[in-house]
Structure 1
């Protein structure tokens, strides 16, 4: 049995499907099973990841756990991890971030600090572990969807910021291989998982335009305006400013190089952003 947190998120949904294809038993944790829309073959159950007392039955009989901070944040992730240890789970695959570098730089921004803290907790748990350190998610582009639909314009502080956007299905595939590992080959590995090419924000927007068959352009705005736009309950304004500034630092060079981890782990190349844009064209139309 493999337990998947964040099962209805972009990565989790792909992961549940991939694990089922590989013949695994899957217990998918979600806040509202009635709206999950997951395959019937998965055991979809309601979960409050902040309630330690209610987690034991959800983790009972599980051999492996996919832990995603997006399912409840850093504190909930640690609660789930502690419950997994008590339930006898053997292996945890953590959906982490490429921002984690195992250096003092991990304290310089919100994203790195949060993920590094959970990585430390996982290492200390005594469980067999694998970290999937994803680069900027292709799905982050969905934040532009409303603006593209309504105006054909994306407003961004740094149109020239460079990234290596990774498809959610590639992150799920790498996680699935590690979760299903019977050889120990992936134990103790921290995989930096990126897309196959460096693209600027403007180039990503252009790919989306090609996918939807119309011109889409980028309009530059201030860092303050950009931070205001992305700040919210799970991303404080100060953290949003840190993130926007970090994007700005990638205009001259990408923050990280292209990785071959997807091909090394799964045996096939990473999916390009153009493919992602075509698959998600309806979200921008």
Structure 2
């Protein structure tokens, strides 16, 4: 079986590759990247191409049985300019099955895949545990403190490896055509509980300083964050939808093993916070 992973060097894509290698060592893996020098495992074939430029994809889809799609283009998460051409190329190549990593709502790529001959499964992960590195690693190392609003916010955040594992099993085994799989971790934590877990993992106290919304906006603007992103974060963090704070059993249902906890993730990444 030959599987194409788009976004293969990204946070989720790397984990899809890793989990496919674990579940199916004999599968032939091909990674799509715009970078001709992308760092990949030695047994993963590199296909240079871009979902935003369908004319670059014919060779990438050739001989492929299944595809892990992302539904955006480039580092700024822009919309795909011609998703119909992407889907047409996949169908012409004989792709039978795919997963699509996306948000809560379906976009043009998802709808086109649903209408195609390709067995399609939507992956809807909630907050990534790995966001803790992006947001908190530097302030923890610099001052031993996290300054954030909404300290009581609840999150059922998920380990990126579990997203990769769900994608890998669906690509390999099928059986989820037309489904939207919400993927969560095994527990719901507040911001303060996450800080406590990280403190225990790194072996030193981390202070949590709860900001007002106004203070958070000032902080984010000072960090150069665009107003659109500030508005998005305010809504996402201050009014987290039920889906983002409700545990579901997708990981165990699909993979046969329980979802990994935030404590497990933190233990694996202690050096990022020291």
Q: SS at 1:94's partner residue?
A: strand
Query: 1:109 matched to which residue of 2?
Result: none
Q: Secondary structure at the match of 2:115?
A: helix
Where in structure 1 are there 5+ consecutive unaligned residues? 101-111
Check if 1:193 corresponds to 2:196: no
Residue 209, structure 1, aligned to residue 199, structure 2: yes
- Corresponding residue for residue 68 of structure 1: 70
Alpha-carbon deviation of 1:127? Answer: 1.6
Q: Give the match for residue 17 of structure 2.
A: 16
Shift of 1:14: 1.7
Shift of 1:281: 1.0
- Identify which range, 132-141 or 68-77, moves more after superposition: 68-77
> Which residue pairs with 1:2 in the alignment?
3
Tell me, yes or no, if the aligned pair for 1:227 and 1:237 is still in contact at 8 Å: no
| Residues 235-254 of structure 1: pairs in structure 2 closer than 5 A | 237-250=227-240
Asked if the contact 2:128–2:158 (Cα under 8 Å) also holds between the matched residues in 1, the reply is yes
Asked whether the 8 Å contact 2:47–2:59 carries over to 1, the reply is no
Matched, 1:133 2:124: yes
> What residue is the counterpart of 1:89 in the other structure?
95
**Structure 1 residue 45: Cα displacement:** 2.9
Q: Displacement of 1:156 after TM fit?
A: 1.2
> Aligned to 1:268, which of 229, 241, 257?
257
Count of paired positions: 263
Establish whether residue 172 from structure 1 lines up as the match of residue 183 from structure 2: no
CA distance in 2 between counterparts of 1:178 and 1:192 reads 13
Q: Which of 128, 131, 150 lines up with 1:158 in the alignment?
A: 150
CA RMSD of aligned residues (A): 2.4
C-alpha deviation, 1:206, in angstroms: 1.8
SS at match of 2:80: helix
TM-score if structure 2 supplies the norm length?
0.86
Partner of 2:56: 54
**How much has 1:4 moved relative to structure 2?**
0.3
For 1:224, the equivalent position in structure 2 comes to: 217
Q: Following TM superposition, by how much is the alpha carbon of 1:69 offset from its aligned partner in structure 2, in angstroms?
A: 3.5
Are 1:277 and 2:266 an aligned pair? yes
